[in-house]
Amino acid sequence: MAQIETELQLLKSEAINMWTLVNSQLNKAREAFLTFDKDLAREVVLKEKRVNGSELKIDRDCENIFALFCPVAIDLRFLLAILKINSNLERIGDIAEGIAKYVIDAEAPFSKELLEVSRVLPMYEEAVAMLEDTQAAFEKEDTVLARGVFKRDDLLDAVNKSSNKVLEAHLKAHPEDTSQALWLISIIRRLERVGDQTKNVAEEIIFYLEAKVLKHSKKFA
C-alpha cells in the first residue's frame, strides 16, 4: 500500500474520532440543557479543548500530507473535504460549548411551556440525528445517505423561521420569560447553524466522492 494511503486512512480515522467527540459534546450539551445538569455542562466546556486540539491536529496533518505527498484527484478532494469538515465540526463543537455555557450561567431551567412552543427539543434531536447520519455517510462513503441529510434540514429551518413569531407571542403572555426567550433564540439560531454546518459537511462528502460541487447550487437553481 502506498504510504499516502496509510496516511489518508489515519486521517480519516482521526476525523471520525473528532466527529464522535463532537457528536457526544452536542448530545451532552442537550442532556445538560434538558436536565439542567451543570456538572455535565461543565464537562462539555472542558472537553471543548479536546475538540480544538483535534481540529488543530487534523489541520496540521492535512498540511503535512499536502506538503509531503502532493495529492491529486480523489486524494486531493478528500483532503480538501476533510479541511472543511474539520472546521465545520469544530464550529459545531463551539456551539455545543455555547449551549453548555448557557446552562452553567442560567439561574433556572427553561420553562416547559417555552420549550414546548419553541419546538427546540425536536429541533435539537433532528440536528444530532443529521450529524450522525453524515458521520455514517462519511464512514461508509455513502453519498445516498449524505444526500438524505439535505431534506432533514427543512425541519430546522422551519423551527428557526417560526421562532421569532412564536416567542414573541409567548412573551406577550409570559413577559417574565423574557430573559429565557432571549437565550432560547440564540440557541435556536445556533442549532440552525448546526444544521447548516452539517449540510456543508454532507456537501463536502459528496464533493470528495463524486467530484460534484453542490454548495450554493440550490441557491443558483
Partner 1 sequence: MESTVIKSRNFNASFGSNHVVKNVNIDIPRNHVIAVMGPSGCGKTTYLRCINRMHELIPGASSSGEMKLNDEDVYQMHPIFVRLKIGMVFQRPNPFPNLSIYDNVIAGYKLNGIKLPKAERDRIVEHSLTRVALWNEVKDSLNKKGSFLSGGQQQRLCIARAVAMEPEVLLFDEPTSALDPISTSTVEELFHELKVNYTLIIVTHNMQQAARVSDKTAFFFMGELVEYDDTKIMFTNPKDNRTQNYITGRFS
Using CB under 6 A as the binding rule, the residues of this chain from 21 to 60 that contact ligand PO4 are: none
Query: Which cell is 149 given?
Result: 441529510
- For 219, residues 6+ apart whose C-beta sits below 8 A from its C-beta are none
Write each residue from 70 to 109 as x if it is in contact with partner 1 (CB under 8 A), else as -, in one continuous string: xxxxxxxx--------------------------------
Q: How many residues bind ligand PO4 (CB under 6 A)?
A: 2
35, 49, 141, 154: residue in contact with a second copy (rule CB under 8 A): 49
Question: Min. distance of Cβ 60 from ligand PO4 in angstroms?
Answer: 21
Scan for cell 496516511, then name that residue: 7
Choice between 170 and 193, CB closer to ligand PO4: 193
Residue 47's binding partner among a second copy, partner 1, ligand PO4, none (Cβ under 5 to 8 angstroms by kind) is: none
**Residue length, the chain?**
221
Choice between 2 and 108, CB closer to partner 1: 2
6, 13, 20, 164: residue in contact with a second copy (rule CB under 8 A): 164
Write each residue from 88 to 107 as x if it is in contact with ligand PO4 (CB under 6 A), else as -, in one continuous string: ---x----------------
- For 167, residues 6+ apart whose C-beta sits below 8 A from its C-beta are 114, 117, 118, 181, 184, 185
Choice between 151 and 175, CB closer to a second copy: 175
How is 159-200 classified by DSSP, letter by letter? HHHHHHHHHHHHHHH-GGGHHHHHHHHHHHHHHHHHHHHHHH
Provide, for the chain, the percentages of residues in helix, strand and coil under a 3-state DSSP scheme, each rounded to the nearest 5. 90, 0, 10
In angstroms, the CA 45 to CA 102 distance is 11
Q: How many CB atoms lie within 10 A of CB 220?
A: 6
Residue 104's binding partner among a second copy, partner 1, ligand PO4, none (Cβ under 5 to 8 angstroms by kind) is: none
Write each residue from 163 to 202 as x if it is in contact with ligand PO4 (CB under 6 A), else as -, in one continuous string: ------------------------------x---------
Residue 107 DSSP class: S
Where does this chain bind partner 1 (CB under 8 A)?
A: 2-5, 63-64, 67-77, 211
